[in-house]
Amino acid sequence: MGPYRLHMKTKTAPYAATKLSDYTPGALDDAVTMLLCAVDSEAAALEDESEWKAFRDRWMARKNGILTQINDLWLKPAPRDAKREVGQRVNEMRSRVEDTVEQAAERCRQSASQAHLASDWIDISLPGIRRPLGAEHPVIKTMNEIVSIFRNLGYSVEEGPEIETDYYNFESLNFPPNHPARDTQDTLFIGQQDSKPLRDRLLLRTHTSPVQIRTMEKLKPPIRIVIPGKVYRKDPPDASHSPMFHQIEGLAVDYHIKFGDLKGTLDHFIKALLGSTVKTRFRPSFFPFTEPSAEMMVSCFICGGSGWRAADPCRPCKQSGWIEILGCGMVDPNVFEFVKQNGYDPAQVTGFAFGMGVDRLALLKYGVDDIQLFFQGDVRFLKQFG
């Protein structure tokens, strides 16, 4: 093999304490030197804390540690004239072994710390881990777009509680006591309210209109507000209904507001949302809190108002070419009577109000045919709108 030789690593036998037969100073020096070399060698071979614990117990355990064995094998059987010399050597040796064990412990701790730092080392020149960012839910995205359009028109945003009293949800909005909406078949009432007066009974709001009254109670005219939020009705969930959905309502009150202002505002809004080619029209309707009332229709932006998509009938507009978008009207003077003391004298001020279902608009805008898809949390569906 030439000048190269294969060396095999040999493992020395562990130190074992034996009884002394010679107590002369030279023999004691040799025995002590052999023991200290053994403890130094074993300490140098330690690699981790578990090995160090076994090493410590092997040398310093009270019952069978090597130092305890040295006491029994060297000191106790020593002749009387040598006991003093042997005792001094044993004490010095014990002190050296304890120091060696402690130094070995510190070295193992430093080694473990360095290994930990090495495993946690970060190369700051590498690109960071990019976490995928979420996106707005299609309903929230539609709601924000609508709010943004009205903000640009000078409207402010108001919010209110989702648990309302009968007074704010119905009475102050000109709902008569026998109105079908006040029936438990249509509205989710909070339980154990029978002992309260009717106007104080709690329910989950059926529209965001209560915020209109709350705002007029705290702000004097003129006001222009939009009110986004969740509302609740006792509807069984299906492709077009949900017991919880989203609404945006608007209210404008001033001293010379007319129905033409309402039509112009909503025409501008719907063109900003769905495109400038969309046409609008209004047809008479009825709502307890507006008079006169109307439903706003828009030309179907999916089929272009033709009622057909290629050779197939257009489902969103039911082949009519028009889609109902929202309800609106001039604020009923009876509603102003409830806030008359704050400057809303129906003989002096007028206003208009409107309300729309955000979920329905999102369905139309994104071509979704089942409202339940918005609430099932399926990421595969929702990420299409990111």
pLDDT of 182 strictly over 70: no
**Residue partners of 122: CB distance under 8 A and separation at least 6:** none
pLDDT of 119 strictly over 70: no
**Which pLDDT tens digit goes with each residue over 269-295?**
999 998 888 899 999 999 989 999 999
Among 79, 99, 92, which Cα is nearest to 33's?
A: 92
**Residue partners of 35: CB distance under 8 A and separation at least 6:** 15, 17, 66, 70, 93, 97
Bridge partner residues of 3 (DSSP):
none
**Which pLDDT tens digit goes with each residue over 22-37?**
888 888 888 888 888 9
The verdict on pTM exceeding 0.75 is no
**Residue partners of 190: CB distance under 8 A and separation at least 6:** 163, 201, 202, 203, 204
**Which pLDDT tens digit goes with each residue over 301-325?**
777 777 777 777 787 777 788 888 8
pLDDT of 5 strictly over 60: no
Is-contact 288 176, C-beta < 8 A?
yes
Q: State the average pLDDT over residues 228-236.
A: 91
Return the higher-pLDDT residue of 11 and 315.
Answer: 315
Is-contact 292 330, C-beta < 8 A?
yes
pLDDT of 157 strictly over 90: yes
